[in-house]
Amino acid sequence: MFSNKDIFKLIIPLIIEQILNSLMGMMDTIMVSNVGPAAISAVSLVDSINTLIIQVFSALATGGAIVCSQYIGSRNRKRANQSGQQLLLSVLAISAVIMIFIIIFRAPLLSFIFGSVEPAIMKNALRYLIITAFSYPFIALYNAGAALYRACGNSKYPMTISMISNVINVTGNAILIFGFHLGVDGVAIPTLISRAFCAIVILYSLRKPKQDIIISNYASIRPEWSLVKTILMVGIPTGIENGMFQFGKLAIQSTVSTLGTDAIAANAMQTILESFNSMAAIGIGLGTITIVGQCMGAGRPDEARRYIIKLAKYAEVALIISCTLTYLATRPVAILSSMTPESTRMFIEMSTFVSIVKPIPWVFSFSLAYGMRAAGDVKFSMIVSSITMWTCRVLIVTVLCRFFGFGPIAVWIGMACDWTVRGIAFTARFLSGKWSKIKVIESTPDAH
């Protein structure tokens, strides 16, 4: 169904978008690090919560993308359009509820998750959280709209919007941090503005004709519960999986927050660097969702299997290259971020470990799962990922830090164990073929 040209046309913009997003995140951190350790620590802690919430939106968008791509593969454009409408309605309602909850309960929430942190860090964290919370509906709608474009095989347009948004964000950061000396506000306000820009542009663009998915009248959208249920049946397990993953990271962050400001800052920078070296492989994974979803919708599971293997190989090559590049960038990043000597030492230690270990288990742990989720096999992934997150990663980090006196390197030792166990489970599932027998949509073609 997809030639090599089609595959690269889909995945290259996704790779570029993911890498640029990660670069912008790194630049955000470098900029705010110049404000002081309290600011970078506050942004790092709050972004742990923000990432959890955005992962929920991303999971719902993925659920909608899988349903829409399968309908497109079955040549049922009417149901693909209706699924797109229900996805947008669902993410808007859910994101609005979460936004209101976070704004009202931000102080007790931060105290509950992170315990007793330094007063300067808590003050900055409260300020940063309330501003970024207002951006939740915008990022949720953008993620949903971008997922609909990708489900149709058009990844270039969301990439373009994301690139412009990143320019807005970084330019705003530079002006507000260095020009107006606004501290964490200088990071949060451009984030809000850039996300609003993304949502407005993507929603306007979905109204244009001559697309596989067209949503022309947002005011007329009403809940269609059968489609909402189908989307949620795929999106909720993925959301729970992502949620458990991020809750685990919050538990780990809570442990790291007891190690001191240098450790928090070093781990925050390594988290961004590790995220960056995943971006190309993640972009390929997002392309896998579209390709496998359309294959399954067309009733071609054997082709879906071949594409999963092929794209996993591409992801492995991309991962080796990106890990090498990020390792070489470690010391320059530390210098640009004005890190203390102790933070720099821990940062380089963690980067070296991740760069060596990560290319071995990552593809088995993640790339195969993208394809199996696109086929609708989301419950298995949810169960395995949740178990390995808590029994491998969280437990190991807690034991190493609290009982054996390890520094933040414990975070990455636990992560490597998690990847390895999860990779074994996903490989066994993929080889069994059970993932290809799951039905997500009714297979009634309707080209209109």
Q: Give pLDDT tens digits for 102-142.
A: 999 999 999 987 777 888 899 999 999 999 999 999 999 99
Residues in CB range of 319: below 8 A, 6 or more apart: 277, 278, 280, 281, 358, 359, 362, 363
Start-to-end Cα distance in the chain = 21
**Is 91's pLDDT higher than 80?**
yes
When pLDDT is cut at 50, 70 and 90, the band that residue 247 belongs to is confident
In this predicted structure, what is the pLDDT of residue 447?
46
User: What is the CB-side half-sphere exposure of residue 196 using CA atoms within 13 A?
Assistant: 11
In this predicted structure, what is the pLDDT of residue 131?
95
The dihedral region occupied by 164, where left means phi > 0, alpha psi between -120 and 50, and beta the remainder, is alpha
pLDDT in tens, 325-348: 999 999 998 888 778 899 999 999
**Is 448's pLDDT higher than 50?**
no
Tell me what the pLDDT averaged over the chain comes to.
90
Give CA–CA dist 340/35, Å, rounded.
14
Q: Fill in the DSSP letter of residue 375.
A: T
Inter-helix orientation angle 378-388/362-374, to 10° = 150
- Which range has the top average pLDDT, 21-25, 258-262, 348-352, 444-448? 348-352
**DSSP SS3 for 208:** coil
Cβ atoms of 61 and 146 within 8 Å: the answer is yes
Q: Where are the beta strands (DSSP E) in 69-209?
A: none
Nearest to 162 by CA among 339, 368, 37, 21: 21
Nearest to 228 by CA among 87, 119, 110: 87
**DSSP SS3 for 446:** strand
